[in-house]
Amino acid sequence: MSQSFAGVLPLLSALAVLVGCEASPRVETDPPPAPPLEQQEREFMVYSQIEARGIRDPRVLQAMREIPRADFVPAEVRDRAHRDSPLPIGYGQTISQPYIVAFMTEQLELDGSEKVLEIGTGSGYQAAILGRLAARVYSIEIVEALAQRSRALLEAKGIANVEVRSGDGYGGWPEHAPFDAILLTAAPDDIPEPLLEQLAVGGRLVAPVGVGLQELVLVTRDEEGLHFESLLPVRFVPMVGEAERD
């Protein structure tokens, strides 16, 4: 009997190999590496502060998941980069609260084909988000040092469709007008006339407007003219320069 087993066993194992059911050695597969802490915090920021408050545009949510906000704030406040608040960026200026960035961006209804004007580049964060969502972005910053810093940062990040100019944004950027979308991130008492003029038919402009108590205003232009809609009470830094003399 033992003899017949000895003959059958190799045959059986050969058959097992043939049908692919031989016992394979146990391979310990490593769990996928956890994303870095900064990315986890960013994703949680989008989930808990932005999606949870009703921002729905999937492109806006994705851009905010992908653009590292922490890279756009000064090193001293980097540990607070994902908080639900504005943060100082130097020169008495601030980067807006993440939710407000998302809300304003969603209001522009970008599909990737647009030419966008931003007034108030600041850290360059909002410009980077717009760059991800539109074809081309022109951004103007009145504080020369901030313009230089954000230009260098955007360039270092390979964001090539955003152009930053230093100067007063009051007059817009006539060489590139009209714009499909215009975003002001500093608050004038009244929206400067040149910016309204540079809004394309079918375009959307979003701006904080007013002194002290400000309203976020959406301006749309159709064949008949401009339409104004008040969206939210907000608090932004004032638009300085020509807008103060208006």
| Residues catalogued as catalytic | 96
Query: Residue 24 is encoded by which pair of tokens?
Result: 């394979």
User: How many residues of this chain bind ligand SAH (CB under 6 A)?
Assistant: 26
* Nearest to ligand SAH of 93, 198 (CB atom): 93
Does 185 contact ligand SAH by CB under 6 A? yes
The token pair that represents 221 in the structure block:
């232009």
- Please list, residue by residue across 74-97, b when 16 or more beta carbons sit within 10 angstroms of its beta carbon and e when fewer do: eeeeeeebbeeebbebbeebbbbb
96 scored as a contact of ligand SAH (CB under 6 A): yes
| Contact region with ligand SAH (CB under 6 A), list: 4-12, 18-26, 56-64, 142-150 | 142-150
Q: How far apart are CA 140 and CA 88, in angstroms?
A: 19
What contacts 202, CB < 8 A, 6 or more positions away?
180, 221, 222
Q: How far is the CB of 169 from ligand SAH (least distance, A)?
A: 3
Query: Whose Cβ is closer to ligand SAH: residue 86's or residue 178's?
Result: 86
Shortest distance (Å) from residue 40 CB to ligand SAH: 22
CA distance 159 to 102: 19
Residue 78 in tokens: 């980097």
Q: How far apart are CA 192 and CA 2, in angstroms?
A: 100
Of residues 216-245, those binding ligand SAH (CB under 6 A)? 237, 239-241, 243
Please say which residue, 11 or 151, places its beta carbon nearer to ligand SAH: 151
One-letter amino acid for residue 231 of the chain? L
Report the nearest approach of ligand SAH to the CB of residue 38 (Å): 18
Contact 125, 69 (CB under 8 A): yes
Q: 54 phi and psi, to 5 degrees?
A: 105, 5
Which of 14, 152 has the CB closer to ligand SAH?
Answer: 152
95 makes contact with ligand SAH (CB under 6 A) = yes
Which stretches of the chain bind ligand SAH, using CB under 6 A?
A: 89, 93-96, 119-120, 122-123, 125-126, 140-143, 146, 168-170, 185-186, 237, 239-241, 243
